[in-house]
Amino acid sequence: MFRLPKPPKELSRTEFTVMLAFVMALQALGIDAMLPALSDIAAELKVEDPNQRQLVVGTYLIGMGVGSLIFGFLADRFGRKPVILGGIGTYCLFDFGCMIITDFNALLVFRFANGMVASAGSVVANAIVRDRFEGDAMARVVSMIAVVFMIVPVLAPTIGQMILLVAGWRSIFGMMFVTGITMFLWVLFRLPETLAAHERQPMDLKRVAHNFRLVITNRDAFGYIFGATLVFAGLYGYINCAEQLVGEHFGLGQRFAYVFGGMAVFMALANFVNSRIVEKFGARRVSHTALLMFVVTGFLQLIAAWAAPNSFWLFAPLMTVNLGLIGFLGGNFSSIALQPFKHFAGSASSLQTTIRVGGGAVLGAIVGNAYDGTARPLGAALFGLSLAGLMLILFSERGKLFRRRKESIAQVEGEELV
């Protein structure tokens, strides 16, 4: 009978952080490495509508949201490690399928499926962190992971562009296939299981529905789940239309990959700074400040898009600030929203990620499809969605921002044990 190799009892903080970051980064690699290739894919597979090429990214993002609903529950039932290995293994298979596909609609089906299984890394990695940490300490670890994770959005478009210079777009999927195999082996031999056998939950539909209700109706988490959904919808909208907006409208062509990666550097820096300050100031204070700044910057982006629609030098700095602020929002919002659900962190992470990514992806696809040759739809989305997100945070915080408080999980734990 086959048995998984016995890993060390506990990884060093450095290896733990880097491993989970690159597991999660497989998901981002499937987005960002493809961006420079969208026009080549559309040309070879005879896609006539320019906006339709966005579906190569959009279907993947929606698949991520759908898949997020599944893997957290599997991880609570069977343990973290088998589920994360299964996700990475099937990720590699779908990358291979995308590499050999010859029909655009079939490519979209494979991309949707690829996004579904890629979500296993993000969902289960968050549950693994929750197994070991809580509160602001968890937010700090999540931010440290994000610092390493952000290497991918910085480098992936450039890597994709370099591959296009020497080979076709299919080779980008080949690169992702090889990267996935490498991560599969690292996790297989080094990652210990973090969920004890006695804490695993049966696949009981009644319990699942009950846990879902607890996640959705918990006021402390509600605003952070749906607030993050709206903020990330603006980000996904930018990702969907970035190649057309930056490469075509602003006329940067192949330089798009370097611009996109350069902007992503500021997301990485923001996550690094967040990891250094979040335990001192608290996840709420940091993220609330960043959200208010995001609303203001989104408003300025909207004004700039109307006043000077062809000015890249107005658009780029404002968009860079917005992307940087995401670094102070994503990990902190996720940590705050997951805090009340220690004893079913996998399923809670699963549902929250489904709402945040799936909802954000659908709204982001709408934003991307609204692209009209200018940055106006994107500016309107960045401002309007972040403002609505702020309202949701105010709901969860009962109208008072910047408070630093210690959450109690006793009530949720007691209710969960049905």
Is residue 286 in a domain? yes
Query: Is the pLDDT score of 149 beyond 80?
Result: no
Is residue 85 in a domain? yes
What single letter denotes the amino acid at residue 127? A
With H, G, I as helix, E, B as strand and everything else as coil, classify residue 321. helix
Is residue 343 in a domain? yes
Is residue 5 in a domain? no
Report the Cα 173 to chain-centroid distance in Å.
Answer: 20
For the chain, the distance separating the N- and C-terminal CA atoms, rounded to the nearest angstrom, is 36
Report the Cα 140 to chain-centroid distance in Å.
Answer: 17
pLDDT at 413: 46
Alpha helix (H) residue ranges in 7-79: 13-32, 38-44, 55-78
- We report the CATH number of the domain holding residue 215 as 1.20.1250.20
What is the average per-residue pLDDT within 94-116? 94
Residue with the bigger pLDDT between 412 and 6: it is: 6
Which residue is associated with the tokens 């929606």? 62
Q: Which domain holds residue 67?
A: 13-192+201-416
Is residue 102 in a domain? yes
60: left (phi > 0), else alpha (psi -120 to 50), else beta?
A: alpha
Query: Hey, what are 94's tokens?
Result: 């779908």
Is residue 309 in a domain? yes
pLDDT at 110: 95
pLDDT digits (tens, 9 = 90+) for 339-387: 888 767 667 777 888 888 889 989 998 999 899 999 999 999 999 999 9
Contact predicate 59/108, CB 8 Å? yes
Is residue 4 in a domain? no
Is residue 263 in a domain? yes
Query: Hey, what are 265's tokens?
Result: 């550097």
How far is Cα 220 from Cα 336, in angstroms, rounded to an integer? 8
What is the average per-residue pLDDT within 382-407? 87
Query: Is the pLDDT score of 338 beyond 50?
Result: yes
Which residue is associated with the tokens 């080094």? 190
- For residue 23, give every residue at least 6 positions away whose Cβ sits within 8 Å of its Cβ, in sequence order, or none: 84, 88, 121, 125, 183, 187
- Helix H or strand E segment including 250: none
pLDDT at 131: 81
How many separate domains does the chain show?
Answer: 1
